[in-house]
Amino acid sequence: MVELKSPEEIARMREAGRVVARVLQTVREHAAVGTTLADLDGLAREVLRDEGAVSTFDGYLPRFAQTPFKGVICTSVNDAVLHGLPHATKLSDGDLLSVDCGVTVDGWAADAAASFIVGEPRDATAMAAYPNFNCERVGSSCVPLSGFGAGFGPTGQAQYIWQIEGHKGSLYAGTLEGGGATAPGASP
């Protein structure tokens, strides 16, 4: 069942999304050669503190894990596929960095991810990143697809297109989930 949101609820959802965007932009601006993933997590923590937001990741304990997640962002470098812990690894020139961020603001949660190249791209890194960037651009600008993929929305369309592009050398992570926003008390 689709629940329509009021203009006030949409504004509150947008605020949570704005904080996620600010975190991702801050991380992108500071992701430089020699910076550690832990440094980037620290910067993300500062943004959340300044905005009065709470990480949806920090302290999360999935049933398969023995310890809670200890970061406010997930960081994956190069061939690491998803949800890596921010640690002491230093970024190198040409690394492909993927960052996922989820926050809650006044009970409203938003989540998004971004991938970008640190410094100067290496040929292999640029080739792996291109289909993802291209699909994000196409998915965020296209009208609803007909057939499979219809009704996904731009994020789902981008992921569906990414799967199609997979034969061109990008990594396929299986079933993908995108970002979004949820209401207080709603299950994702």
Q: Which residues pair with 105 in a beta bridge?
A: 108
- Domain regions of the chain by residue span: 7-182
Give the per-residue pLDDT at 37.
97
Q: Which pLDDT tens digit goes with each residue over 33-73?
A: 999 999 999 999 999 999 999 999 999 998 888 999 999 99
| 8 Å CB contact between 99 and 68 | no
Give the per-residue pLDDT at 80.
77
Q: How far apart are CA 41 and CA 52, in angstroms?
A: 16
| 8 Å CB contact between 27 and 44 | yes
Q: How far apart are CA 145 and CA 157, in angstroms?
A: 7
Structure confidence at residue 92 as a pLDDT band (50, 70, 90):
very high
Structure confidence at residue 85 as a pLDDT band (50, 70, 90):
confident
Q: Above pLDDT 90, what percent of the chain?
A: 47
Contacting residues for 59 by C-beta, under 8 A, at least 6 apart: 68, 69, 70
On average, the pLDDT of the chain sits at 75
Residue 75 has pLDDT above 70, yes or no: yes
Average pLDDT value for residue range 86-98:
92
Q: Above pLDDT 70, what percent of the chain?
A: 64
Name the architecture of domain 7-182.
Answer: Alpha-Beta Complex (3.90)
Give the per-residue pLDDT at 149.
39
